């Protein structure tokens, strides 16, 4: 699967419909670990307007073709050609009428380490077909606009045999499933293994009873209950908020240990990375629980946004992903604290998507070319795709959004749709012209908005001038102005709001807006709720930021004020200047404000990460020095702890959650504040509190926090040994154990620690989670990964090259650790470039990694 291939660029402009209609797909699997036979019967009809075309089927070069017939007859062998990853049947051999093409192939799941197509995880057969995995199972028009109902028969002696749709037959060694909803091949799934289910049911809004199962390995049943609860909540929410009902008799979820991504929305048979299903208080953190709830929801919501309405081609990926992320974010806001969800989403967007948009891998939400589609499951397509929908909703209003979505489901049910279709429903439902808005889909890069204030005391008038510009991105030099919803409120000198939130619509490169009738100069609360994914630049001093942190009624803007204050201090300190007094004082007031939500206080107490500080410095034209940034952050944290020792110690003690563990958001918020206090106190108590907490904590959230504190104080060894002894058999906990060590290590030692861990026998590197833990742990240690001696780069490149032979999706994805390399000093740039070049020149490099590396070097 990872043979060297010639670069081949796919262009959006090249889209052509498939010249045949696929009426039905019948598959027969004879499962065996080394030699599985797959018989595919495709009922095809040549399209009237596409007469005389050859039929091109996709199929990996590893498929062993054993038989091929058309209407039961073998065609002349000269009419059938295999070349690269395709099989072509000449038009001359194809009937002009409907016909059945039958193929039989043999494949070897045991040799498949790429976790794509049909593979084996922990003795279980499972599949992953998005984006183009189905072509590694059988020959097929493997493209999302070719849809058919599926009829699947599985022959296997495994006790549990699952596929999409409804079960129609079960006997010894055989199961048959029928999925009546036409679907593209990427939504196909099959699972065969020794599994157990926890089961429940859901009665839909029209009164149909749906059987629900979460399938796990025997022994894991007691960790699947939260996933089931989350599924039921999701089903109910989608009915209540979007009017969407589930459409099959069963809904199955399966947890697998080897999985490239988080989870997959296969029709009626979602397959999940086990880390997003299994949870117990002893093994999962509050963050894990929240992610499980969110991802279960995400995959379930795809049933309408992705499955019932799919994408015409992979350029339209954001059609399903942006919308489904937007929906899962709304769900989490409804289930938990909406302001906290918004703030953490923005933090993640900036950390991942802004980073992408500002570097060599920048691409539009709807790209117009790619080499390897698997490299485009990015923060831009997912998270920026969701932001774009959030902006649309603000522009057309809640009611307009609801009308547009009803129309979308109505008009496009059963379609493979495009972004043009999506925008059209908004135009039709609301009458709004979205021509300019479409630039959010076609133009890459993060716009900068400069805000200038002009106060006229005589007239009591404030004029805001807003200027937008977007820096060039690869292949796109000129960026015309976009529609930017810019939410502002005004706060009077006494801290009272004098103008409620108003959404200014910015459409020009420069525009002014006035606010009249003001008694005194107000403070502007800008970009409330983070109303657009832009970088705001304004003239503001630390005192005004502290004022906003104390008084802003918009939780996002309030948090942002604290964030800016912290970044202003940290960037000064990292450049050898003084800073931080205002921040330390203001944060003390907020932390001691018992009226404020503990989760919000925790967010404000957590200093921006080193990566974020580096980004901020780069944006102001300064070359970031990772060691200086690390030292600056340590210094400020220590000063916070020294200035507020009693307050923090009080919070640490009082935020204990009594009674049995519950992952609900109120309890999680208290733990978050307690841990934030611990993290600061750890700078001055030598790790004493963390040591006690590690010994007594009854939940993984506090245990991991304590462990990380101990490692930072150089006192982690005993705790690490204890954890490894206790959880040697629990992969998910051991993944955390592998990640935390390079992540919390002193930067100068991080790469050596990662290298030592990589030599352990339980560094099962072919397992994507384990690999991601170790390499991701190192990449998350900013000064460690960017160590001046190049040790972080070299370690990472060595392992990416090794992984590339086994699993190119993972090597390519993890290579993004390098994407910020151009912003560092000459020494680091040279070391990073050498590592990138080494990868680029590797013999047999996969298409996936080659595309990523060449974009980063370009
Ligand atoms: N559609 C899934 C993501 C996904 C994409 C590719 C995969 O394998 C390469 C697996 C999952 C989602 O959005 O959850
Ligand atoms: Zn998705």
pLDDT per position as a tens digit, 626-637 = 999 999 999 999
Residue 651: CA count within 13 A, CB half-sphere: 32
pLDDT of amino acid 51: 76
Q: Which of 117, 261, 276, 320 to mutate to test the pocket of ligand 1 (most atoms within 8 A of CB)?
A: 261
250 lines ligand 1 (CB under 6 A): no
Q: Mean pLDDT over residues 754-768, rounded?
A: 98
Q: Is 423 helix (H, G, I), strand (E, B) or coil?
A: helix
Integer distance in angstroms from the first to the last C-alpha of the chain?
Answer: 26
Q: Say how many Å lie between the CA of residue 158 and the centre of ligand 1.
A: 26
Ligand 1, atom 1, residue with closest C-alpha: 264
Q: Which ligand is nearest to the CA of 266?
A: 1
Give the pLDDT of residue 6: 61
What does the longest C-alpha to C-alpha distance in the chain come to? 91
Torsion of CA 406, 410, 413, 419, to 10 degrees: -60
Tell me the pLDDT tens digit for each residue of 785-833: 999 999 999 999 999 999 999 999 999 999 999 999 999 999 999 999 9
Give the Cα separation of 319 and 312 in Å (integer): 10
> In this structure, which residue's CA is closest to atom 6 in ligand 1?
130
Instruction: State residue 2's pLDDT score.
Output: 42
**Section 736-756 average pLDDT:** 98
Cis before 16? omega within 30: no
230-268 pLDDT per residue, tens:
999 999 999 999 999 999 999 999 999 999 999 999 999
Summarised one tens digit per residue, pLDDT across range 563-619 is 999 999 999 999 999 999 999 999 999 999 999 999 999 999 999 999 999 999 999
User: Does residue 185 have a pLDDT over 50?
Assistant: yes
The DSSP output letter for 609 is: P
Q: What spacing in Å lies between the alpha carbon of 299 and ligand 2's midpoint?
A: 6
Ligand nearest to the CA of 132: 1
Q: Which ligand is nearest to the CA of 320?
A: 2
Q: Is the CB of 812 under 6 A from ligand 1?
A: no
Indicate whether 499 pLDDT > 60.
yes
Atom index in ligand 1 nearest the CA of residue 295 equals 14
Q: Is 130 in the pocket of ligand 1 (CB under 6 A)?
A: yes
Instruction: Determine the number of helices (DSSP H) and then strands (DSSP E) in the chain.
Output: 28, 30
Atom of ligand 1 nearest to the CA of 299: 14
pLDDT digits (tens, 9 = 90+) for 669-697: 999 999 999 999 999 999 999 999 999 99
Kindly indicate the confidence band of residue 3, based on its pLDDT and cuts at 50, 70 and 90: very low
CA atoms within 13 A on the CB side of 245: 11
Task: Name 467's Cβ contacts closer than 8 Å, sequence gap at least 6.
Answer: 449, 450, 452, 509, 510
Closest CA to ligand 1's atom 2: 264
Closest by CA to 818, choosing from 845, 846, 841, 837, is: 837
Ligand 1 midpoint to CA 795 (Å): 28
The pLDDT value recorded for residue 813 is 98
What is the whole-number distance in angstroms between the Cα of residue 356 and the centre of ligand 2?
Answer: 19
Query: pLDDT tens digit string along 393-450?
Result: 999 999 999 999 999 999 999 999 999 999 999 999 999 999 999 999 999 999 999 9
Instruction: Take atom 5 of ligand 1 and give the residue whose Cα is closest.
Output: 130
Cβ(265) – ligand 1 distance below 6 Å: yes
For 775-785, what is the mean pLDDT?
A: 99
Is residue 4's pLDDT more than 70?
A: no
| pLDDT tens for each residue of 423-435 | 999 999 999 999 9
- Measured in whole angstroms, how far is the alpha carbon of residue 397 from the centre of its chain? 27
Mutate to test the pocket of ligand 1, among 264, 374, 848 (most ligand atoms within 8 A of CB): 264
809 Cβ inside 6 Å of ligand 1: yes
Prediction pTM value: 0.98
* Ligand 1 centroid to residue 271 C-alpha, Å: 10
Q: Smallest Cα–Cα separation from 196: which of 174, 176, 220, 175?
A: 220
Q: Quick check: CB of 310 below 6 Å from ligand 1?
A: no
Q: Report pLDDT for 840.
A: 98
800 sits in which H/E element? helix 791-806
Atom 3, ligand 1: residue with shortest CA distance: 264
Specify the DSSP element, H or E, that contains 38.
strand 36-46
Distance 372 CA to ligand 1 centre (A): 14
Cα 286 to Cα 282, 653, 705, 715, 774: the distances in Å are 11, 19, 11, 24, 21
Give SS3 for 762.
coil
Does residue 765's CB lie within 6 angstroms of at least one atom of ligand 1? no
Q: Which of 780, 775, 762, 858 lies closest to 811 in space, CA to CA?
A: 775
Å from CA of 171 to ligand 1 middle: 32
Residues marked active site are found at 299
Ligand number nearest to the C-alpha of 328: 2
Element (H, E) at 771: helix 768-779
Please check whether residue 16 is in contact with residue 314, taking contact to mean a CB–CB distance below 8 angstroms.
Answer: no
**Average pLDDT score, the chain:** 97
């Amino acid at each position: 699967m990872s043979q060297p291939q010639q670069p081949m660029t796919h262009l959006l402009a090249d889209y052509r419909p498939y010249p045949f209609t696929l009426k039905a797909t019948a598959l027969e699997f004879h499962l065996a670990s080394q030699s599985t036979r797959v018989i595919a019967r495709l009922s095809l009809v040549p399209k009237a307007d596409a007469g005389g075309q050859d039929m091109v089927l996709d199929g990996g070069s590893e498929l062993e073709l054993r038989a091929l017939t058309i209407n039961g007859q073998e065609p002349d062998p000269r009419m059938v050609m295999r070349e690269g990853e395709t099989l072509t049947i000449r038009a001359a051999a194809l009937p002009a009428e409907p016909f059945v093409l039958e193929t039989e192939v043999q494949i070897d799941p045991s040799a498949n380490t790429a976790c794509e197509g049909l593979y084996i995880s922990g003795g279980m057969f499972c599949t992953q077909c998005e984006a183009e995995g189905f072509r590694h199972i059988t020959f097929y028009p493997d493209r999302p606009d070719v849809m058919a109902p599926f009829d699947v028969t599985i022959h296997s002696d495994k006790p549990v045999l699952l596929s999409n749709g409804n079960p129609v037959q079960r006997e010894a060694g055989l199961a048959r499933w029928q999925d009546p909803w036409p679907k593209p091949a990427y939504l196909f799934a099959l699972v065969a293994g020794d599994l157990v289910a926890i089961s429940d049911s859901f009665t839909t809004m029209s009164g149909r009873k749906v059987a629900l199962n979460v399938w796990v390995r025997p022994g894991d049943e007691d960790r699947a209950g939260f996933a089931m609860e989350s599924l039921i909540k999701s089903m109910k929410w989608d009915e209540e908020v979007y009017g969407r009902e589930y459409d099959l008799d069963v809904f199955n979820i399966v947890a697998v240990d080897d999985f490239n991504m988080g989870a997959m929305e296969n029709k009626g048979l979602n397959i999940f990375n086990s880390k997003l299903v299994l949870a117990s208080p002893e093994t999962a953190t509050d963050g894990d629980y929240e992610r499980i709830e969110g991802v279960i929801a995400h995959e379930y919501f795809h049933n309408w946004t992705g499955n019932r309405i799919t994408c015409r081609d992979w350029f339209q990926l954001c059609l399903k992903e942006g919308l489904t992320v937007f929906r899962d974010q709304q769900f989490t806001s409804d289930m938990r604290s909406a302001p906290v969800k918004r703030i953490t989403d923005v933090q993640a967007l900036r950390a991942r998507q802004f980073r992408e948009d500002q570097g060599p891998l920048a691409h539009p939400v709807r790209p117009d070319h790619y080499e390897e589609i698997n490299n485009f499951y990015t923060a831009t397509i997912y998270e920026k795709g969701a932001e774009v929908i959030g902006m649309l909703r603000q522009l057309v209003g809640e009611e307009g959004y609801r009308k547009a979505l009803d129309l979308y489901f109505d008009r496009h049910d059963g379609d493979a749709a495009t972004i043009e279709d999506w925008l059209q429903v908004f135009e039709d439902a609301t009458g709004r012209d979205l021509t300019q808005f479409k630039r959010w889909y076609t133009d890459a890069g993060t716009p900068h908005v400069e805000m200038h204030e002009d106060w006229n005391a005589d007239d009591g008038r404030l004029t805001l001038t807003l200027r937008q510009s977007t820096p060039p991105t690869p292949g796109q030099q000129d960026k015309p102005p976009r529609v930017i919803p810019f939410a502002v409120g005004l706060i009077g000198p006494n801290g009272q709001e004098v103008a409620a939130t108003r959404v200014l619509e910015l459409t020009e490169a420069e525009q002014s807006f006035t606010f009249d009738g003001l008694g005194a100069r107000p403070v502007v609360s800008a970009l409330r709720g983070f109303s657009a994914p832009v970088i705001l630049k304004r003239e503001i001093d630390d005192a005004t930021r502290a004022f906003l942190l104390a008084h802003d009624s918009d939780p996002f803007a309030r948090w942002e004020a604290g964030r800016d204050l912290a970044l202003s201090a940290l960037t000064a300190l990292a450049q050898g200047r003084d800073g931080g007094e205002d921040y330390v004082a203001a944060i003390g007031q907020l932390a001691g404000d018992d009226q404020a939500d503990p989760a919000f206080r925790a967010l404000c107490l957590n200093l921006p990460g080193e990566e974020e500080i580096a980004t901020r410095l780069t944006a102001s034209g300064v070359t970031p020095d990772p060691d200086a940034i690390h030292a600056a952050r340590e210094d400020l944290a220590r000063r916070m702890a020294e200035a507020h020792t009693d307050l923090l110690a009080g919070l640490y003690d009082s935020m204990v959650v009594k009674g049995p563990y519950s992952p609900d958001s109120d309890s999680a918020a208290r733990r978050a504040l307690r841990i934030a206090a611990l993290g600061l106190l750890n700078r001055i108590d030598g790790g004493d509190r963390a040591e006690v907490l590690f010994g007594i904590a009854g939940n993984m959230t506090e245990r991991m926090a304590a462990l990380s504190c101990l490692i930072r104080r150089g006192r982690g060894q005993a705790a690490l040994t204890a954890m490894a002894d206790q959880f040697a058999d629990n992969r998910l906990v051991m993944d955390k154990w592998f990640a935390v060590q390079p992540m919390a290590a002193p930067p100068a030692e991080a790469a050596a620690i990662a290298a030592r861990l990589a030599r352990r026998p339980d560094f099962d590197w072919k397992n994507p989670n384990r690999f991601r833990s170790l390499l991701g742990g190192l990449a998350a240690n900013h000064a460690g990964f960017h160590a001046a001696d190049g040790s972080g780069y070299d370690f990472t490149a060595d392992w990416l090259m090794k992984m590339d032979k086994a699993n190119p999706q993972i090597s390519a994805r993890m290579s993004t650790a390098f994407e910020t390399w151009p912003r560092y000093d000459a020494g680091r740039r040279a070391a990073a470039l050498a590592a990138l070049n080494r990868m680029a020149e590797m013999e047999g490099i996969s298409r996936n990694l080659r595309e990523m590396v060449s974009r980063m070097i370009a």
